Structure formats: C-alpha cells, structure tokens
Amino acid sequence: MIFNRTSIGLICIACILTLSLSIQSALSFEIIFCDVGQGAATLLHLGTYQILIDTGPDKRVLNCIGRHIPFFDHTIETIIISHNQKDHNGGLSAINNKYKVNFVYGPLPKPMVSKDTVFVEVKNTITLKIKNISILIHKASQSSKELNDSANVVTIHTSNKVSHTIFLPSDINGLELKSLLPKNTTILEVPHHGSKYGLYPDSLELAHPTAAVISVGKKNTYGHPSKEVLAILKAENIKIWRTDKQGELVIDLK
C-alpha cells in the first residue's frame, strides 16, 4: 500500500487528536447531570473510570455519554440503578448495545444485562472508592414495598481542592429526604423530578445545600417541578438548575 504525503499527514493529525482526547479524558473529574427528558441520569466521569447513576427513559442517555466519554472508550465501569421504573432504567438496553458494562448495582428483579456484566443486588450499604471520591449506595427504606420509597439513594463525597457532598435521592418522598439527607450536602438532586411530595418545607431542616438540580422533561404531563418545591428552594436561597430549561449541568470535581 502506497501512502502519499496528504494521507500520512491526515494519519498524524488523527493520532494527535486521539492522544489529546485520551489525555483530556484521563484528567477529567466531573459530574454531569444529563438532560434525558422526563427522567434521571447522572454521569460521574472520573478520569478513565465512569459511573452512571440511572439511565433515563430511553436512548437519549447515549447523547450525554457520548459528549463526555471519548469515542474510542467503549466501557462504562459501573451503572447504579435506583429503582425499576422506566424513567430511571429505560436507557439500560441502549447502553448495553453500545458499551461494555462491568458492574450493575440495583434492585431485584435483575435487569437485562450482558453475560459479561456482574449484577450486584443492593441490600445493605455499598461503598465504592475511586481515587479521592467515595460513593455510598443504600436503600432508602428496607420495609417499604413502594418502588419510589424503597429506591437506592446515592451519596457522593469528594475531597479534592473543593470538597462536595452530592446527594441523589431518586424518587423518595420529602419525609424520607429529611431523615436521609447528609448534613454537609452541598449539591442536592431534588427528589422525584420536583414533585410536591418529594420536598417539604422542613425537609432541609438539617442540611442547607448551596445548589439544587431538578432532572425533568419539558412540558411533562406531571406538572414537574411543582410551584411548591420551587418556592421552598427560593425561600432557602438555593441555586436552582433545571434540565428542562438549562440542559445538562457539568460540575468540575477537581
């Protein structure tokens, strides 16, 4: 095969771009609250290690992943499923078709995963540690049979230049939030996409996050986020980010 100067030049440029993307990806330490419509999907991009908490309702989650993971990276190391409702696990099949997934943590019944994926049922608290980040997964309630109230909640602690405690409560109710919300929470994903039952005036009695993220779809039929929840957050002077109005949110964790 004969290569001319143009071909060699293009190959060199492609190699440089690939190397640049590899370095950039390896240095990235960020959390992305994806815009997946009426649902939730949050990506932890920790250098060469990726954790996805929930997958949104459908294949739209792939757009978010593709914007932050290099095209040559075909592995998502860990997926955490909060509970088995479509707006939180509906994108899993699309992910399985495009990426190799090493671990899935979630509730029973076991979701459809590839034969090479290890599924771990969340029964008690599970702690994952990646570099300076710790991720705690546990069931909101061991006794409730209601899918939302027994969902797996996730607490993320960072200890880099700026420390964060990020709480992802899935679809739990406001009473559970009050008892489960870590006192040092800095960023809160508002429960149940801003439902009025997910946040009460006293839910934030023990913690005062500086920012709240509402993962919600445009013109959804549920009326999310509710005017009651927005009023509570504004009264507490908490910065609000809505994926239906502002799109995905990227926070640097370095």
pLDDT for res 17: 47
pTM here is 0.90
Asked whether residue 111 carries a pLDDT value surpassing 80, the answer given is yes
pLDDT for res 5: 61
The CB density around residue 94, as the number of other CB atoms within 10 Å, is: 17
pLDDT for res 199: 96
Cβ atoms 178, 203 nearer than 8 A = yes
pLDDT higher for 227 or 8?
227
159 pLDDT band (50/70/90 cuts)? Answer: confident
pLDDT higher for 2 or 62?
62
19 pLDDT band (50/70/90 cuts)? Answer: very low
What count of residues does the chain have? 254
**Phi, psi angles (nearest 5°) of residue 45:** -105, 100
- The two beta strands, 42-46 and 239-242, are unpaired
Three-state SS letters, the chain: CCCCHHHHHHHHHHHHHHHHHHHHHHHCEEEEECCCCCCCCEEEEECCEEEEECCCCCCCHHHHHHHHCCCCCCEEEEEECCCCCHHHHCCHHHHHHHCEEEEEEECCCCCCCCCCCEEEECCCCEEEEECCEEEEEEECCCCCCCCCCCCEEEEEEEECCCEEEEEECCCCCHHHHHHHCCCCCCEEECHHHHCCCCCCCCCCCCCCCCEEEECCCCCCCCCCCCHHHHHHHHHCCCEEEEHHHHCCEEEECC
Average the pLDDT over 48-67 and give the result.
97
13 pLDDT band (50/70/90 cuts)? Answer: low
pLDDT for res 162: 79
Portion of the chain with pLDDT greater than 90, in percent: 81
Burial of 36 (0-12, 13-18, 19+ CB in 10 A): buried
Look-up of token digits 């929840």 = 229
Asked whether residue 25 carries a pLDDT value surpassing 90, the answer given is no
Please tell me the distance from the alpha carbon of residue 134 to that of residue 220, in angstroms, as a whole number. 34
pLDDT for res 120: 98
Task: Provide CATH code, domain 27-247.
Answer: 3.60.15.10
User: Where in the chain are the domains?
Assistant: 27-247
Asked whether residue 20 carries a pLDDT value surpassing 50, the answer given is no
27 pLDDT band (50/70/90 cuts)? Answer: low
Please tell me the distance from the alpha carbon of residue 141 to that of residue 242, in angstroms, as a whole number. 27
The sign one gets for the Cα dihedral 105, 188, 57, 173 is positive
User: pLDDT, tens digit, for every residue of 184-216?
Assistant: 999 999 999 999 999 999 999 889 999 999 999
